[in-house]
């Protein structure tokens, strides 16, 4: 009874909002380009937003699939891990998504990861799995958003995580040239974003690890609700052609605006 009342109430609110605005709804698809009520971001504008999210993000969900079991090809370490973790049978081909630290250390749209050889995503990838990286924009985890109004905050309405942008990158992993690691360019960038990762840098005494880049080959963008955001695949050329200036100047919904330094007025 309570669930039925709640669902009916929400549907009534949604209907009322639609009638109040007297505008056609495009919640699940991009509106026509000549739509008078809506102006959704272009493909390039969406690419810039995605690159800004990557620049600010510190973590994402790395998705791989469990490989076909072949005990003859497994290393002793892999067999020990499977036994210790109690890997169930029948998971061959089943996807698994796990959080991983990421960094925007090369400024070309290829995320940086610190790969722990024993970790499931990297073991699966080594065994032949495809790989993808899901990243979302969420300006704060503590604020309770209201269904009504915008509360004066620069966040799309309604204020829910479903209204905020996210994307999925598809591609491959590529180990960094040791020159970038030895000159500290990549480690400094990554540790600045993740200070605790200093404990499992390459050469640590606990786990074998190495820096890898996620080479982006395809980008799926979900900008939010389809009546105000673009949803669809972004050509990888658009992803790569975003400039650093575009990334630096853009501000995402809910992102705190940076205060201008007083001394810049003197220039």
Task: Determine, yes or no, domain membership for 261.
Answer: no
Task: Determine, yes or no, domain membership for 258.
Answer: no
- Residue 6: which H helix or E strand, with range? helix 2-21
Residues 116-133 pLDDT 10s? 999 999 999 999 999 999
pLDDT of residue 19: 39
- Check residue 46 and give left, alpha or beta (phi > 0: left; psi -120 to 50: alpha): alpha
pLDDT of residue 18: 43
Task: Determine, yes or no, domain membership for 105.
Answer: yes
Q: Is the bond into 67 cis (omega within 30 degrees of 0)?
A: no
Residues 146-205 pLDDT 10s? 544 444 454 444 457 888 999 999 999 999 987 777 778 899 999 999 999 999 999 888
C-alpha separations of 149 from 17, 145, 146 in Å: 11, 10, 7
What domain count does the chain have? 1
Q: Strand, coil or helix: what is 27? A: coil
Residues 1-23 pLDDT 10s? 444 444 444 444 344 444 344 44
Residues 78-105 pLDDT 10s? 656 666 667 788 889 999 999 999 999 9
Q: How far is CA 33 from the centre of its chain?
A: 27
Q: What is the pTM of this model?
A: 0.76
Strand partners, 101: 59
C-alpha separations of 156 from 45, 50, 56, 220, 232 in Å: 16, 16, 19, 20, 19
Burial class (CB within 10 angstroms; exposed 0-12, middle 13-18, buried 19+) of 112 = buried
**Domain ranges, residue 69:** 27-140+154-253
For the chain, what percent of residues have pLDDT higher than 70?
68
What CATH number did the domain enclosing 207 receive?
2.30.110.10
Mean pLDDT in residue range 63-70: 87
Task: Determine, yes or no, domain membership for 191.
Answer: yes
Q: Are 265 and 256 in contact (CB under 8 A)?
A: no
Q: Would strands 166-175 and 59-65 be described as parallel, antiparallel, or unpaired?
A: unpaired
Q: Which two tokens stand for residue 147?
A: 């269904």
Q: Tell me the C-alpha distance between 99 and 101, whole Å.
A: 7
Task: Determine, yes or no, domain membership for 100.
Answer: yes
Task: Determine, yes or no, domain membership for 134.
Answer: yes
Cβ atoms within 10 Å of 14's Cβ, excluding its own:
14
């Amino acid at each position: 009874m309570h669930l039925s009342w709640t669902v009916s109430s929400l549907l009534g609110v949604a209907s009322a909002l639609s009638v109040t605005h007297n505008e056609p709804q495009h919640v699940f698809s991009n509106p026509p380009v000549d739509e008078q009520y809506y102006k959704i971001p272009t493909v390039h504008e969406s690419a810039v937003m995605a690159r800004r999210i990557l620049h600010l993000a510190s973590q994402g969900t790395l998705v791989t699939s469990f490989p076909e079991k072949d005990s003859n090809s497994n290393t002793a370490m892999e067999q020990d891990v499977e036994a210790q973790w109690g890997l169930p049978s029948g998971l061959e081909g089943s996807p698994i998504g796990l959080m991983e630290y990421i960094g925007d250390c090369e400024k070309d749209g290829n995320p940086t990861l610190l790969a722990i050889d024993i970790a499931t995503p990297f073991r699966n990838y080594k065994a032949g799995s495809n790989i993808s990286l899901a990243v979302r924009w969420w300006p704060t985890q503590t604020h309770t958003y209201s269904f009504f109004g915008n509360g004066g905050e620069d966040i799309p309405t309604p204020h829910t995580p479903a209204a905020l942008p996210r994307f999925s990158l598809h591609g491959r992993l590529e180990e960094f040239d040791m020159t970038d690691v030895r000159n500290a360019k990549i480690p400094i960038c990554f540790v600045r974003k993740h200070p605790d990762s200093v404990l499992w840098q390459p050469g640590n005494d606990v786990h074998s690890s190495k820096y890898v880049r996620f080479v982006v080959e395809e980008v799926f963008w979900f900008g939010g609700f389809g009546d105000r955001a673009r949803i669809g695949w972004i050509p990888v050329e658009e992803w790569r052609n975003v400039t650093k200036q575009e990334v630096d100047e853009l501000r995402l919904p809910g992102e705190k605006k940076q205060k201008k330094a007083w001394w810049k007025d003197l220039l």
